[in-house]
Amino acid sequence: MQPFEARNPVASARGASYGSAMTYAYVILFTLPRRRR
């Protein structure tokens, strides 16, 4: 995957943004129930 990302910086940027969005969503889903209780 490294050579593919190196050749396509846009694809790597999309992957990084997608990963950060997934982690952000997981953090919200796990923190909301705790705050409500």
For the chain, the domains span 2-36
Higher pLDDT, 12 or 4: 12
| pLDDT value, residue 32 | 83
Output the six-digit token pair for 25: 């969503």
Confidence check: pLDDT of 25 > 80: yes
Higher pLDDT, 7 or 24: 24
Is 0.85 surpassed by the pTM of this model? no
Side-chain half-sphere of 7: how many Cα atoms within 13 Å? 3
Distances (CA, A) of 31 to 14, 27, 35, 37: 26, 6, 6, 10
SS3 19: helix
Rounded CA separation 16/24 (Å): 12
Per DSSP, which regions of the chain are E strands?
none
